Amino acid sequence: MYSLVDVHKRYGLRTVALRKLNLDIRPGEFFVLYGPAGAGKSTILNLLAGLTRPTSGDVRRDGASITHLPPERRNAAMAFENYALYSHLTVAENLAFPLRAAGVRPAEIEVRVKSVAGVLGIPHVLDRRPGFLSGGQRQRVALGRAIIRPADIYLLDEPIGHLDAKLRHRMRAELKALAVDMKATIVFTTTSSKEALALGDRIGILNAGRLEQAGTAAELYDRPANTFVASFVGDPPMSFLNVSVRPAEGGPALVTGDGQSIGKAPSGALGRGGLKAGVRSTALTLVDPGTPGALAGQVEVVEHLGHSSIAVVLSGTDHIQVLLPADARLRPGERVGLRVDPTRLHIFADETALATDAA
């Protein structure tokens, strides 16, 4: 088990990359670090690899500090986002490099290089130098060089982020299968919600150097700790209604800014204002305007996405995304009703979403 304990990381005097971060990476798990650019994902990989040291706090392995252990003694394999390939070596030589350095026999090296090149779909470019490869091919070579040798931990910095959509989708499945086969401990960074959910045994959500929540895909999706996590996990993202709790017949109700009730409030919440009710696009049903109990709104835009459509509905001052069938015939400006599945409402009292709204 790898642990970051109270890790604080500053670059220079002003740039804070990580703030009092605590994180455990369990043996054999595929751990995804997910968050926007600049959240601190690459810094964590560099700390685990030993390429940088925390400003304060400790990096541990199985409880013992490795904070001051040099990179060459950590047996960590890393794939860098900017590839960092040797330009004077062929693809085959780049892939073989870590094995030669470890003294593996040439015959064994050849077998392993061919096998990795096959998995990554690059066997036909083994004789080329990196300068003659496309960006997607270079990225796969960088990934191959990391996974080709046995290591205690694999640190993969957006290793499929530069591939085109088709290849990215295919490589995602390959990588997941490979991880299952290798039973390796992998830390993987991404800015894609789909990639995080598809790959991670557990996912850590980072925001401005803080770990907002760590858990399985299902935990993050069903029980997001705050509005930042809620809005970052899932595509399309969760929509939020600004609500407060008001007394009503049958108990306190959640009421929107323009006075519409969207359901019962959690017990003991009476008198609270400034809450956010999060709702996923799949938890809403479109009904006729004026349907009792439904939220009234007006269609702002309709997006046709091939297999489905997304309508953005303005209700009061809240913009709500609704997932619809591909053949939905809605027009901007049309008045609609939205029925909210009350069992799928997420109530938040935090302000993290407001902070990210400004971004």
Q: Are 48 and 153 in contact (CB under 8 A)?
A: yes
Q: What is the footprint of other proteins within residues 56-85 (CB under 8 A)?
A: none
Per CB under 8 A, which region of 48-56, 107-115, 130-138, 344-352 contacts other proteins? 130-138
If one asks whether residue 180 binds other proteins (CB under 8 A), the answer comes out as yes
CA dist 314 and 321 (Å) reads 9
Per CB under 8 A, which region of 78-86, 254-262, 267-275, 305-313 contacts other proteins? 305-313
Q: Are 242 and 218 in contact (CB under 8 A)?
A: no
- Closer by beta carbon to other proteins, 71 or else 121: 121
Per CB under 8 A, which region of 75-83, 270-278, 289-297, 301-309 contacts other proteins? 301-309
Q: What is the footprint of other proteins within residues 310-349 (CB under 8 A)?
A: 310, 312, 319, 321, 326, 332
If one asks whether residue 9 binds other proteins (CB under 8 A), the answer comes out as no
Is the C-alpha dihedral spanning 197, 200, 159, 145 positive or negative?
negative
Among 207, 231, 256, 260, binds other proteins (CB under 8 A): 231
If one asks whether residue 258 binds other proteins (CB under 8 A), the answer comes out as no
Among 3, 46, 94, 137, binds other proteins (CB under 8 A): 137
| 92: nearest Cα among 147, 144, 163, 139 | 144
Q: How far is the CB of 208 from other proteins (least distance, A)?
A: 12
Among 172, 185, 186, 352, binds other proteins (CB under 8 A): 172
If one asks whether residue 14 binds other proteins (CB under 8 A), the answer comes out as no
If one asks whether residue 170 binds other proteins (CB under 8 A), the answer comes out as yes
Own/partner pairs for 258-263, CB < 8 Å, 24+ apart? 258/315, 258/316, 258/317, 260/295, 260/296, 260/315, 260/316, 262/295, 262/340, 262/342, 262/345, 263/340, 263/342, 263/345
Own/partner pairs for 326-335, CB < 8 Å, 24+ apart? 328/286, 328/302, 330/286, 330/299, 330/302, 331/299, 331/302, 332/299, 332/300, 332/301, 332/302, 333/298, 333/299, 334/298, 334/299, 335/289, 335/296, 335/297, 335/298, 335/299
Q: What is the footprint of other proteins within residues 139-168 (CB under 8 A)?
A: 163-167
Residues that bind other proteins (CB under 8 A): 36-37, 121-122, 124, 134-137, 163-167, 169-170, 172-173, 176-177, 180, 191-194, 197-199, 217-218, 221-222, 231-237, 280, 282, 300-301, 303-307, 310, 312, 319, 321, 326, 332, 356, 358-359
